[in-house]
């Protein structure tokens, strides 16, 4: 059968309906654009929804927290890879962008002394100021706001169960590449929708599904953002920078990969041990996520890993002290409520109560790399920070889809700010571009894509895309996952080539309505593109830096000249990588940063060797300073009980 | 472990007997574990929704022996049957069309105007209602939603359902509780609730939430009281 094609016209298409997509759509519509949101999952069911629900809001707790301080904090944490105009934009807009969520019903607790949202008690990982705001119900509260922004209408149309397949470009009157629209598979209606639009904002999330285990990030993170942009000819930046969270569940299987802790939640005395009980990383609470992941993966590579491919996060030292121990449990619970809920559901009682070490392993989470863009999310190309005039006209990205903000490491609580800062910026910039666009579109530009897509329905084949996806996941973990080697990175090229060839042997039935085989096929195609981009960038980055951990090479020195990797797809579908040097933080600042960091580590090391009673009193005072007197202990859950299967206990 | 999985594809319905292999001797699998294993082995084209595996995203709801369950955090036992939720139209296998529920809220929602003072604490109930993960378990047994599915009801879910559900009332109640809502928008929210069929709730024994929100106490009775029922 032939699948029907419907035609539509809009000013701006927004791909994705999470935090970035919803804010982009709202901003564009409020500026007068006719907007279509295209979402493969139900509206708002995104990484924003499943997140811990903490956003960075500059100066929310302290007056000295200037835009410069925050912008520089992000760049230094990111190994000097972030683009300054982008980190400046983040710092400049962080307050107003948070209010975009508040305009849609997000209601944080208020600090009436400061007349603003109430800050969390501790600075989040890597932040040099306390500037995070948490919400009851975590990311779900943000999702309600984003959902409201899209579903209300007021200039925004939306499609859910709709896969945005590819961009359509042509060479405008000036001979330069520009967006003219895109093609959508609307699965629930069983139609293809060709949309003419001069601007597209890609806000379709990351690529964590390239790996397993992964955290609770959505299944739909199949690299669609990067694949769609790359196939249209865009540059991608820092693609080797995948963020793996170190402390995720290794077993039981139903919970594998879900987050149970962060470096900060390990508190003052948490350490990592190998299977022999030897400490492989101390002062865990002061480490970055990448350092913790690397320590675990090195132990696994040396055969000193735990039975389920991880290591042990030992927090018993915090727990056993008589005075401060009870505070620690309360701290652990309030610090990361959703993660601790996972621990209580998955682990045995003594383990969840930190009387025994936790078996943990890294898990794929967030992607720092993405579309190479300017501070409005517009695609750029060329030297240095790139130039919009050389990019693809009309192509924008926001949220995880966009690169250049975090570089090699993302600070805690920044992504929920990222989505609204750059969602709104991209939405407004796309509207301005659409308003200025007058060029005629020739529908013939859509023909090759429509024909190629239609031909896939009814493709005779011998293999299922879902099966190939699993094969890719497994090898991607080993080759371009949390621990990499030159041989591994080079070796996965063979799998990429064979899977690309086998795409034509995937069996796809001919029916149009919710064709799961076609959906799996498209997602596999996108995962493959993203995997190739990650591998090309990882091959170019010849030492460990942030989310890119090389077992066969040392750490790249902070004093060397920093560079970002830039990859693009060539006409044969291969990925070509090169470097763009970045300005380094002034030498004096770097030295002072290093000295401070070493001093903090030394103090915490020295602290561990104090007599237990002294340690106990000092810790009690520290906990009291953070959270006051503890009231009530965390509820205990028996694994295998109804409390551990929460949907069953509370079921209708 | 023997499990029955109901499949719907291209107009044909079937019951597939699937044998789940436990991955650990004492494993007590969740519904989603079975679906993922089936997809990885003998049923690679099985259509089902899932997202986060941690009961936050709300998309994986299926019926287990006829009762709606969030698949990632509800256990499954020998002989159980997995089928699509019976309150929404089936698209393929376990995937149903959810769109008609959310879409009925189009043009019924508002945002706060810029320039408002956002620094106001909402009442505690507000946060209780934003715990909703939109799993749509509440549609089961809801007489208001049933009116959408009744014989002769003219409904194209693609345009949004005519009648509401506990979910749509919850969204409207949030507007009523929001300290930033104007009196006019509070009134409007109530009018929308009436238009969506709030009168159906008068004689109803109560709705059931998939994540334990007190829908009757915090939503329905509040609204009924406001209209003087």
Residue numbers in B near A45 (CB within 8 A): 51, 57-59, 134
- Are A327 and A631 in contact, with CB atoms under 8 Å apart? no
Q: Is residue A44 part of a domain?
A: yes
Buried b (16+ CB within 10 A) or exposed e, A341-377: bbbbbbbeeebbbbebbbbbbbbbbbbbbbbbbbbbb
Interface of B with A in 20-39 (CB under 8 A): 23-24, 27-30, 32-33, 39
Same domain, A38 and A141: yes
Same domain, B141 and B29: no
Cα–Cα distance, A211 to A30 (Å, whole number): 38
Same domain, A345 and A409: no
Best mutation site among A30, A102, A105 for testing chain B: the one with the most B CBs within 10 Å?
A: A105
Domain harbouring B218, CATH code = 1.10.1060
Total number of domains in chain A? 3
Task: Choose the final residue of a domain: A530, A553, A576.
Answer: A553
Domain with A231, as residue range(s), is 4-241+366-447
- Are B48 and B26 in contact, with CB atoms under 8 Å apart? no
Same domain, A533 and A389: no
Q: Is residue A308 part of a domain?
A: yes
Q: Which helix (H) or strand (E) holds A349?
A: helix A349-352
pLDDT value for A629: 53
Same domain, B204 and B141: yes
Helix, coil or strand: residue A205: coil
Same domain, B82 and B103: no
Helix, coil or strand: residue A146: helix
Nearest alpha carbon to residue A371 among A362, A380, A361: A380
Residue numbers in B near A109 (CB within 8 A): 121
pLDDT value for A312: 98
Residue numbers in B near A152 (CB within 8 A): 105-111
Task: Choose the final residue of a domain: B61, B96, B131.
Answer: B96
Task: Choose the final residue of a domain: B96, B126, B160.
Answer: B96
Angle at A555 between CA A558 and CA A565, to 5 degrees: 75
Residue numbers in B near A153 (CB within 8 A): 106-107
Q: How far lies A519's CA from each of A190, A459, A547, in Å?
A: 12, 13, 30
Task: Choose the final residue of a domain: B76, B96, B116.
Answer: B96
| A50: nearest CB among B28, B45, B52 | B52
- Are A25 and A156 in contact, with CB atoms under 8 Å apart? yes
Structure letter (DSSP) for residue A649: H
Domain harbouring B65, CATH code = 3.10.20.30
DSSP for A275-336 reads: TTS-EEE--GGGS-HHHHHHHHHHHHHTT---TTS-EEEE-HHHHH-TTTHHHHHHHHHHHS
Domain with B14, as residue range(s), is 2-96
Minimum Cα–Cα distance from B98: chain A residue: A42
Q: Is residue A50 part of a domain?
A: yes
pLDDT value for A628: 64
pLDDT value for A635: 43
Domain harbouring A510, CATH code = 1.20.58.100
Nearest alpha carbon to residue A77 among A459, A298, A405: A405
Specify the pairing of strand A395-397 against strand A199-202: parallel
Same domain, B117 and B212: yes
Q: Exposed/middle/buried for A103, CB within 10 Å: 0-12, 13-18, 19+? A: buried
Same domain, A25 and A139: yes
Same domain, A325 and A395: no
Same domain, B147 and B207: yes
Same domain, B178 and B216: yes
pTM: 0.95
Which residues are bridge partners to A370 per DSSP? A237
- Are A260 and A266 in contact, with CB atoms under 8 Å apart? no
Same domain, B81 and B112: no
Residue numbers in B near A116 (CB within 8 A): 119
Same domain, A167 and A184: yes
Same domain, B215 and B110: yes
Same domain, B153 and B82: no
Q: Is residue A271 part of a domain?
A: yes
Is B59 an interface residue toward A (CB < 8 Å)?
Answer: yes
Same domain, A258 and A356: yes
Residues 6+ apart with CB under 8 A from B186: B175, B176
pLDDT value for A556: 93
Sign of the Cα pseudo-torsion (A165, A170, A172, A176, in order): positive
Which residues are bridge partners to B13 per DSSP? B8
Structure letter (DSSP) for residue B65: T
Same domain, A30 and A131: yes
- Are A169 and A46 in contact, with CB atoms under 8 Å apart? no
Same domain, B78 and B129: no
Cα–Cα distance, A52 to A607 (Å, whole number): 30
- Residues counted in chain A: 652
CA distance B218 to chain A (A): 16
pLDDT value for B114: 66
Cα–Cα distance, A405 to A386 (Å, whole number): 14
Sign of the Cα pseudo-torsion (A149, A152, A153, A155, in order): negative
- Are A152 and A167 in contact, with CB atoms under 8 Å apart? no
Cα–Cα distance, A218 to A47 (Å, whole number): 6
List helix spans (H) across A104-254: 138-151, 224-231
Nearest alpha carbon to residue A402 among A604, A226, A600: A226
Same domain, A491 and A373: no
pLDDT value for A643: 52
Q: Is residue A588 part of a domain?
A: no
Same domain, B147 and B187: yes
Domain harbouring A388, CATH code = 3.50.50.60
Same domain, A98 and A144: yes
- Are B139 and B101 in contact, with CB atoms under 8 Å apart? yes
Total number of domains in chain B? 2
Phi and psi torsions of B31, nearest 5°: -55, -40
Nearest alpha carbon to residue B200 among B174, B166, B153: B166
Residue numbers in B near A52 (CB within 8 A): none
| A511: nearest CB among B10, B56, B102 | B10
pLDDT value for A128: 86
CA distance B16 to chain A (A): 17
Same domain, A283 and A348: yes
- Are A580 and A442 in contact, with CB atoms under 8 Å apart? no
User: Does A151 contact B105 at a Cβ distance shorter than 8 Å?
Assistant: yes
| B73: nearest CB among A160, A509, A646 | A646
Nearest alpha carbon to residue A86 among A98, A74, A77: A74
Cα dihedral A581, A582, A586, A589, rounded to 10, equals -120
Q: Is residue A589 part of a domain?
A: no
Which residues are bridge partners to A183 per DSSP? A166, A194
Q: Is residue A590 part of a domain?
A: no
Same domain, A92 and A174: yes
- Are A577 and A539 in contact, with CB atoms under 8 Å apart? yes
Average pLDDT in the B3-17 region? 96
Cα–Cα distance, B222 to A262 (Å, whole number): 41
Average pLDDT in the B79-88 region? 98
Residues of chain A with pLDDT under 50: 630-637, 639-641, 644-648, 651-652
Q: Is residue A74 part of a domain?
A: yes
Same domain, B25 and B53: yes
């Amino acid at each position: 059968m032939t699948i029907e094609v419907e035609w539509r016209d809009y000013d701006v298409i927004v791909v994705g309906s999470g935090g970035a997509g919803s804010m982009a759509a709202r901003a564009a519509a409020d500026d007068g654009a006719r907007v279509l949101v295209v979402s493969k999952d139900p509206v708002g069911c995104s990484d924003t929804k499943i997140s811990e629900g903490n956003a960075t809001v500059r100066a929310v707790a302290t007056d000295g927290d200037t835009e410069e301080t925050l912008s520089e904090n992000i760049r230094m944490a990111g190994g000097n890879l972030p683009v300054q105009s982008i980190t400046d934009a983040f710092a400049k807009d962080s307050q107003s962008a948070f209010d975009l969520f508040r305009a849609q019903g997000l209601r944080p607790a208020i600090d009436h002394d400061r007349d603003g949202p109430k800050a969390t008690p501790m600075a989040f990982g890597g932040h040099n100021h306390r500037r995070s705001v948490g919400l009851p119900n975590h990311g779900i509260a943000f999702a309600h706001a984003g959902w409201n922004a899209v579903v209300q209408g007021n200039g925004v149309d939306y499609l859910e169960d709709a896969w945005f397949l590819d961009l359509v470009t042509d060479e405008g009157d000036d001979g330069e590449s520009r967006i003219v629209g895109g093609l959508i598979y609307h699965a629930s209606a069983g139609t293809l929708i060709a949309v003419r639009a001069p601007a597209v904002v890609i806000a379709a999330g990351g690529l964590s599904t390239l790996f397993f285990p992964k955290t609770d990030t959505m299944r739909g993170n199949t690299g669609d953002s990067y694949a769609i942009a790359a196939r249209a000819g865009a540059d991608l930046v820092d693609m080797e920078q995948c963020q793996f969270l170190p402390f995720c569940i290794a077993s039981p299987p139903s919970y594998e990969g879900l987050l149970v802790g962060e470096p900060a939640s390990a508190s003052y005395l948490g350490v990592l041990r190998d299977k022999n009980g030897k400490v492989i990383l101390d002062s865990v609470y002061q480490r970055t996520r990448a350092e913790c992941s690397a320590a675990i993966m090195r132990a696994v590579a040396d055969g000193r890993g735990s039975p389920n491919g991880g290591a042990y996060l030992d927090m018993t030292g915090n727990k056993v002290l008589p005075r401060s121990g009870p505070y620690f449990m309360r701290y652990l619970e309030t610090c990361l409520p959703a993660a601790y809920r996972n621990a209580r559901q998955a682990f045995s009682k003594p383990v969840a109560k930190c009387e025994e070490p936790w078996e943990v392993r890294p898990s794929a989470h967030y992607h720092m790399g993405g579309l190479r863009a300017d501070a409005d999310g517009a695609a750029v190309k060329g030297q240095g920070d790139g130039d919009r005039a050389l990019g693809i006209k009309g192509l924008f990205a926001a949220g995880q889809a966009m690169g250049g903000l975090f570089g090699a490491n993302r600070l805690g609580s920044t992504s929920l700010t990222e989505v609204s800062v750059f969602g709104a910026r991209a939405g407004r910039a796309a509207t301005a571009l659409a308003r200025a666009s007058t060029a005629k579109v020739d529908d013939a530009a859509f023909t090759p894509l429509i024909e190629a897509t239609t031909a896939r329905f009814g493709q005779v084949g011998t293999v299922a895309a879902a099966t190939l996806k699993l094969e890719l996941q497994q090898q991607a973990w080993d080759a371009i996952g949390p621990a990499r080697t030159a041989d591994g990175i080079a070796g996965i090229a063979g799998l990429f080539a064979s899977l690309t060839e086998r795409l034509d042997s995937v069996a796809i039935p001919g029916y149009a309505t919710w064709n799961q085989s076609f959906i799996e096929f498209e997602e596999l195609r996108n995962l493959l593109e993203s995997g190739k981009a990650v591998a090309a960038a990882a091959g170019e980055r010849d030492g460990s830096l942030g989310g890119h951990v090389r077992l066969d090479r040392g750490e790249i020195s902070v004093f060397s000249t920093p560079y970002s990797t830039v990859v693009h797809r060539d006409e044969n579908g291969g990925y070509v990588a090169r470097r763009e040097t970045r300005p380094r933080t002034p030498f004096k600042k770097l030295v002072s940063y290093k000295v401070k960091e070493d001093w903090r580590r030394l103090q915490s090391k020295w602290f561990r060797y104090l007599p237990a009673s002294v340690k106990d009193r000092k810790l009690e005072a520290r906990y009291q300073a953070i959270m006051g007197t503890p009231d009530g202990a965390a509820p205990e859950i028996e694994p295998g009980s109804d409390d551990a299967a929460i949907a069953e206990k509370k079921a209708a | 472990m023997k499990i029955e999985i109901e499949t719907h594809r291209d107009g044909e319905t079937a019951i597939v007997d699937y044998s789940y292999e436990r991955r650990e001797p004492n494993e007590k699998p969740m519904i989603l574990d079975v679906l993922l294993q089936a997809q990885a082995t003998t049923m690679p084209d099985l259509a089902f929704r899932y997202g986060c595996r941690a009961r936050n995203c709300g998309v994986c709801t299926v019926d287990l022996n006829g009762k709606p369950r969030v698949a990632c955090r509800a256990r499954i036992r020998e002989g159980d049957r997995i089928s699509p939720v019976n309150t929404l139209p089936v698209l393929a296998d376990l995937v149903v069309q959810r769109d008609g529920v959310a879409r009925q809220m189009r043009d019924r929602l508002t945002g706060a105007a810029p320039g408002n003072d956002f620094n106001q604490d909402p009442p505690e109930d507000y946060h209780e209602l934003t715990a909703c993960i939109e799993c749509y378990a509440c549609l089961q047994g809801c007489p208001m939603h049933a009116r959408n599915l009744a014989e002769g009801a003219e409904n194209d879910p693609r345009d949004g359902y005519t009648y509401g559900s506990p979910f749509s009332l919850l969204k409207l109640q949030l507007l009523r509780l929001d300290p930033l809502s104007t009196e006019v928008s509070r009134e409007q929210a109530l009018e929308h609730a009436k238009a969506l069929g709030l009168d159906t709730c008068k004689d109803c024994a109560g709705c059931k939430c998939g994540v334990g929100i007190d829908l009757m106490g915090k939503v329905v009775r509040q609204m009924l009281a406001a209209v003087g029922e």
